[in-house]
Amino acid sequence: MIRFSTAGESHGEALIALISGMPAGVPVDLDFVNHELWRRQQGYGRGGRMKIETDKAHVLSGVRHGKTIGSPIAIEIVNRDWKNWEEKLPVEAGDPGKHQPVASPRPGHADLAGALKFNFPDARYVLERASARESTARVAGGAFAKLLLRHLGIEVASHVIRVGRVELDRTAAWEEIVSVVARDEIVLSCVDAATEARMKEEVEQASRTGDTVGGVFEVVVHGAPAGLGTYANWDERLDGLLAWSVMSLQAVKAVEIGRGITAAESFGSKVHDAIHYATEPTGRPTRFTREQNNAGGIEGGVSNGEDIVVRGYLKPISTLRRPLESVRFDTRAATSASYERSDICVVPAAGVAAEAMVALTVAGLAQQKFGGDSALEMKRNFDGYIEQIRSY
């Protein structure tokens, strides 16, 4: 079983990712892990923090001589901004005069609910852990899950299909999504240049007016076999597990599998993906095929061999330069919500973080189904199953 957790606060010394249950012998490409961290930092509309940080994975355990060794993998990502916060957020009691309270909660943020829950006098500690800075650790862990999936020939990628009111009005081919992921310069990660330019204008408008803007990213898993997840138990369904893992990301307010949302307003004959069977010219049967993939590669909570498609709907960032009305924690007097440096749009970065969560979920199910303490053993089991499917 692959287990994953994170620790760390936005302005603390470092973030930590801890992954256990990875088989031994998976080749670890640290440049790839760091490139994933770089991708998460990009995108038009990011805030000042991204100019301070250059996220790098410092692997503390579980990897030796370039491969996993089956032991828990601990990764540290240092916060460069810590040097500006050491006195404001010391581990020791420190000087209370130097603390930096978040005096009035931001509507939409965890500030108020968190302060009430933990009985904090203000929202500083809430912000520190609820911040999407934590997704850095998820991306580091997800990069390891991707390395395991790559060993099985499974790839995970994402692109942006909506920023505010601007939507990509067609489906994107897998090759287009891969080329978006491979870009050296990330703007808004849309496959269509003209749509991306309009998305950029949407961010600019939000920036001009002291506002923020949300959107939709799409994560695609390519090369996964039929049979991951199960309809047999509610808590083992692939769609449920993916929805949970993507919904758990900061600012995600809805998750869609395939065309789940438009399916609800259509007739069944238009929604379901008709089944065909492809044969090679030699007459040798090859595989079941679909001309469309409205199901997003999942039927009955089980992968069906098509691309797995998960969309995350992101609310606009809740820290507004032109803040909404709020109330002071100390006096309850009406005031504006606190403002602290923030982003205007994070849809591409959220897509990268969602890739990580999807990769961890799919890698976990693959590990469960194919087992194996070593990458070799797992691959042998995987190949045996693929052969079984092929000769079905």
Nearer residue to ligand EPS within complex by CB, 131 or 294: 131
Nearer residue to ligand EPS within complex by CB, 195 or 342: 342
| Least distance CB 136 / ligand EPS (angstroms) | 6
| Least distance CB 82 / ligand EPS (angstroms) | 11
CA angle 15, 21, 22 (to 5 degrees): 85
In 69-183, alpha helices (H): 111-118, 124-130, 135-151, 174-181
DSSP string, 162-217: EETTEE--SPPPHHHHHHHHT-SS-SS--SSHHHHHHHHHHHHHHHHTT----EEE
Question: Would you tell me the crossing angle of helices 238-247 and 347-370 to the nearest 10 degrees?
Answer: 140
* Residue 249, both tokens: 């990301």
Distance CA 257, CA 269 (A): 18
Residue number of the CB atom closest to ligand EPS: 131
End-to-end CA distance of the chain: 28
- Nearest Cα neighbor of 370 from 170, 210, 169, 228 is 228
Nearer residue to ligand EPS within complex by CB, 47 or 70: 47
| Least distance CB 342 / ligand EPS (angstroms) | 5
Nearer residue to ligand EPS within complex by CB, 170 or 341: 341
| Least distance CB 351 / ligand EPS (angstroms) | 13
Distance CA 220, CA 128 (A): 31
Distance CA 340, CA 212 (A): 13
CA angle 299, 303, 308 (to 5 degrees): 100
**Length reported for the chain:** 392
Nearer residue to ligand EPS within complex by CB, 126 or 238: 126
| Least distance CB 338 / ligand EPS (angstroms) | 11
All residues at 6 or more sequence positions from 378 whose CB lies less than 8 Å from its CB, including other chains: 23, 151, 152, 366, 367, 370, 371, 372
| Least distance CB 188 / ligand EPS (angstroms) | 16
Nearer residue to ligand EPS within complex by CB, 140 or 221: 140
| Least distance CB 36 / ligand EPS (angstroms) | 13
Lay out the sheet containing 166-167: strands in order across. 166-167, 155-163, 215-222, 308-314, 252-257
| Least distance CB 278 / ligand EPS (angstroms) | 44
| Least distance CB 349 / ligand EPS (angstroms) | 6
Q: What residue ranges bind ligand EPS (CB under 6 A)?
A: 10, 47, 49, 81, 131-133, 136, 317, 319, 341-343
